[in-house]
Chains A and B, each alone.
Chain A
Amino acid sequence: MFRIRFHGRGGQGMKTASRILGTAFFLEGYEVQDAPRYGAERRGAPIFAYIRADRKPINERGIIAGPDLVVVADDSLVPLPAAGVLQGIREPTVILLKSCESGATWRQRLNIKNPIVTLPETGEAEDSAELRYIGAACAGAAAGVLGIISRESLAQAIQEELGRLGEAVLAKNRANALASFDAIKKSAAVNVTEGGSIPAQPYKRPAWIDLPFEDARISAPVIHAGLTSVEVRTGLWRTMAPVIDYSLCRGCWWVCSTFCPDGVISVRDNQPVIDYDHCKGCLVCVAQCPSHAIAAVPEKEEQARKKAVAGEAS
């Protein structure tokens, strides 16, 4: 059985990617199970989706503990513990990473020996409109790495999954997916091997424990402290950052701060200030600003700029 996990951020199309690959497997005659996994849905938060594909009916269910292939659409997720990108990887697990850096660099950085294939980022950083095609590109690359899915099945799967969105969107996704498929086929010399099932003899015994009785002072689900949400840096979910150009800001100060669904724009000295620790990058403010003073900038660019500014300052 092939067990494949897709990691990305809410909005990057990981559910779609898993469905494209799932349908491609299905068209190749495989039994398939695919599913997205998320909590309270939110843009930019780490999410994952998974696929199982086998020649016989699949009884296994739920999260994939030991993947054969891990596909990561956003390399900023790799160091994030909450994203669990590397969870359960085994020696032969292939990692497919959308990243400007090489597989060798990542192997060294993560101190792992796994085959790592990178899919270079292609211009999306400059054009935010391209971001939404990442999913199809990842599905295409994954199909390429697997080596058992034909170009035709991939194209057909994209047609089935995205056909209802109209010819223009379909064509763009198809082009991106097939380009990634071809690029990976040409460059990558890795082999994704199907993992087996866990034998019943011998097996690693689960470390079960008897839950001890504890009185209600301990065992009731209560946190009495306030402001706990401040501790959660939801700013890490951002893929795009709103940046205020103060030369254009007319200081009306209520429009952006009122429309911000997370209440992270405050007004100081009659000027709006964004709390980047908690701004999730929904870009509602960009759309609402009457003087178009707020731009949407890719998070990576914004971080590089801040780094440069900090460097100058020190």
Chain B
Amino acid sequence: MSRRLLTGNGSAAWGARLARVDYIPAFPITPQTEIIETIAEWIDRGKMTGRMVTMESEHAMITAAGAASATGVRVFSATSSQGLLYAMEMIYSVAGWRTPLVLVNVSRGISAPITLEPDHNDVLAARDSGFLQIHCSTCQEVLDTTLMAYRLAEDERVRLPVIVNQDGFYLSFTREPVEIPDSRPAAEFVGDYNPENMGFRASSPSSQAVAVLGAGAYSYFRYETHLAAREALSVYEEVAREYRERFGRYHPIVETYRTEDAEYAFVMMDSFATKAKDGVDRLRESGVKIGLVRPRLLRPFPEEQLCRALAGMKGAAVIDQNLSMGKGGVLYTEIASALYGQNEAAPLLASFIGGLGGRDISAEEFYEIAATLQKAVKHNRAPRPRLLYTVEELRAMRKLQAIAHVERHGSKPGE
């Protein structure tokens, strides 16, 4: 085991290497490219076995990934943003094939307008596909989760593909100290892929993902996929415990930070959640009993674990780094659905949208969110959903609009 500085992309590549993957169909996209560059270099220098093929698009890449996985080999791939969207037809299909590949998504906001920086609308577009989703907040988690994802995906009770999500820039290009497990214990942990009855071969024709057989059959297959995803919750817990036994690091389904006696909580996912930890520490110093609740699994959605984590609290601020047009924050909506109808009194929920297109969330904003939440609890009235957006940002936006307007009309707005 060695501890060294590694980017999130490097961590993802190490996860694939330690899982001894057989096949890597690849297509580059910022900010994911370093993952496939790293793997390509390792294969080139004989440090990693397996075969990498560069494809003509992400659609082809996921098709190849699913097809290869159906032959019974272990498959890894990675994409981001527009690439994930371009592959979307096949994302749904390969989940329906029940092929247990692992795909790392490096989150980046979606066009238009175009951005390179992270938010989660890309990965959330795959939310209902049948891919399981695990969201990481550190580079260490990216490596550990990629390894664990194979155990989860390939378990016969689950056998579904998994997306491991990490934020572009904030993790992908950021180096942090990461412990890299030795290859032998990693190999023992992940084991060999036993494809059981999956053995798609050119020499022995069989049909994977058979044609539509009518609604009864269709409903059966779809609902079984859903049940398998639900089953993944308990399977994940087994895998995470075994990982802790072997490597000393435990990555729970829902991470809680200083929630034991907490009256309030920040609820958020991915890398910005570590910033919330700083916020919690500072707020605790000034006497606010607040903690952090961070779901790592988004699919399957851990209702029970979340309800337990939030039980007895007065209020929770859900900070969504995504936006469902015409609805609002996706995580907020899902948390609300989990809390509704519980026997225990649910905490008051407040919705915040922040970090769109990588927009930073400042320490002061965490403090202000906590203040807003406390006030709402005091008056027993949930605040309106809020976009984290400042007067200065709007002023800068107005300047851009004035320029665009002048070029279009030759005058300033209102003139």
Contact = CB atoms under 8 A, between A and B. Distances in A.
Interface of A: 19, 22-23, 26, 31-37, 39-40, 58-63, 65, 197-201, 203-211, 218, 221-225, 228
Given A206-B362, A208-B390, A224-B407, A35 B173 contact: yes
B169 A26 contact: no
A216 to B, nearest CB: 13
A18 to B, nearest CB: 9
Interface residues of B, number: 47
B177 A59 contact: no
B275 A198 contact: no
B368 interface: yes
Contact of A39 (B116, B386, B389, B390): B116
B282 A198 contact: yes
25 contacts: A19-B5, A19-B175, A22-B5, A22-B175, A32-B176, A33-B176, A34-B5, A39-B116, A59-B274, A65-B362, A199-B285, A199-B286, A200-B279, A200-B285, A200-B288, A201-B285, A201-B287, A203-B364, A205-B364, A211-B387, A211-B394, A221-B113, A223-B407, A224-B408, A225-B407
Contacts of A19: 5, 175
A177 to B, nearest CB: 18
Nearest to B171: A61
Given A35-B173, A201-B286, A225-B408, 19 more contacts: A22-B175, A33-B174, A34-B5, A34-B174, A35-B169, A59-B274, A59-B278, A60-B274, A61-B174, A61-B271, A61-B275, A63-B360, A197-B282, A197-B363, A198-B363, A203-B367, A203-B368, A207-B390, A224-B408
Contact of A208 (B173, B271, B360, B386): B386
Given A199-B285, A206-B364, A209-B394, A62 B112 contact: no
A62 B113 CA distance: 22
Contacts of A200: 279, 282-283, 285-286, 288, 363, 367, 370
A162 to B, nearest CB: 14
Contacts of A224: 407-408
Contacts of A228: 407
Interface string B372-397: 00000000000000111111101000
A207 B392 contact: yes
B367 A208 contact: no
Output the residue of B170, B367, B401 with the most chain A CB within 10 A: B367
A208 B368 contact: yes
Q: Which 6 A-B pairs have the closest CB atoms?
A: A225-B407, A201-B286, A35-B174, A200-B282, A207-B391, A59-B274
B302 to A, nearest CB: 23
Nearest to B277: A59
A209 B395 CA distance: 11
